[in-house]
Amino acid sequence: MESQLENAHSDQYSGIFCVSEILLVFLPALLLIKLTGSWVGEDTIRSFGIIWVANILMLVMIWTGMRLRGTTWEDFGLTFTPVSFTEGLKIFGLSVLVFAIGVFAFLIGPILLPNLIEIQQHADFSRYDFLKDNPGGFLLSLAGVCIVSSFGEEVIYRAFLINRISELARSSKYRSVIAVIVSSIFFGLVHYEWGPMGMVQTGCMGLVMGISYIKLKKRLWILILAHAYMDTILLVQLYLASN
């Protein structure tokens, strides 16, 4: 009986610590975005800059939490050791597969949802209008989304969030399912500037990426590469369309 009480207290403490860690990762970033709102205004470049800084801030907070836990990036499936040529090809092939499924999930929303509920048929990409006749802005944006967004979002919304939510739901046999669904909802909501359809599309993409994270045994580089392919193709399309 005493042992059970100790385990219950330990689980409660772990849950409080986990929730606090999640809040400390997201709240400073949200506060930064809120406080700089008047300075950013309608300036898209400033908006992207603040979002990238917010992502970097979240990564720093995640790293700080890991230091306090005594864990490393490898616990998230993020390794920096060299791989063989064969293993590299395997990683590339799997990243292309995840990319293809993720794109399908992203595109299926505009096809199905307007027939089911009243919702705009396309994501709002008007904030990318600055790409028109702006090759410098395109290259800067491309570097930013590949280095900060693709890498950062996979670490934050897949590796960190799925692992921490799984810890909160440790007593449930469906904890991985719960973690993937919640993380995909978070991922959709942070893309609110894309409009309702954009949030649905990114949420569906996040669901595929989350499932892939679990099924591929947390091999995070595969997801980072797949995400980079998606962001690159989307940005190239927007740039070509604007010109």
Dump pLDDT digits (tens) for 111-149: 766 665 666 667 778 888 888 888 888 898 888 888 888
Q: Which residue segment(s) compose the domain that 103 sits in?
A: 2-242
pLDDT of residue 182: 95
Is this prediction's pTM over 0.75? yes
At what angle are helices 2-35 and 161-168 packed, to 10 degrees?
A: 140
The neighbour count for residue 142, using CB atoms within 10 Å, is: 16
In this prediction, residue 62 has a pLDDT band, given cuts at 50, 70 and 90, of very high
Number of domains into which the chain is organized: 1
pLDDT of residue 141: 87
Rounded CA separation 35/25 (Å): 17
pLDDT of residue 154: 97
Rounded CA separation 50/44 (Å): 10
**Choice among 40-44, 53-57, 121-125, 148-152 with the minimum mean pLDDT:** 121-125
Output Rg (C-alpha) for the chain, integer angstroms. 19
- Which residue in this structure is represented by tokens 């992207």? 48
Rounded CA separation 194/202 (Å): 9
Rounded CA separation 99/144 (Å): 19
pLDDT of residue 5: 34
Rounded CA separation 82/141 (Å): 28
10-13 own/partner pairs: CB under 8 Å, 24+ apart = 11/170, 11/171
pLDDT of residue 14: 73
pLDDT in tens, 145-197: 888 889 999 999 999 999 999 988 766 778 999 999 999 999 999 998 888 88
pLDDT of residue 117: 60
Rounded CA separation 127/45 (Å): 9
Torsion angle of C-alpha atoms 220, 224, 225, 226, degrees rounded to 10: 100
- What percent of the chain has pLDDT above 90? 58
Instruction: Confirm if 54 and 33 have CB atoms less than 8 A apart.
Output: yes
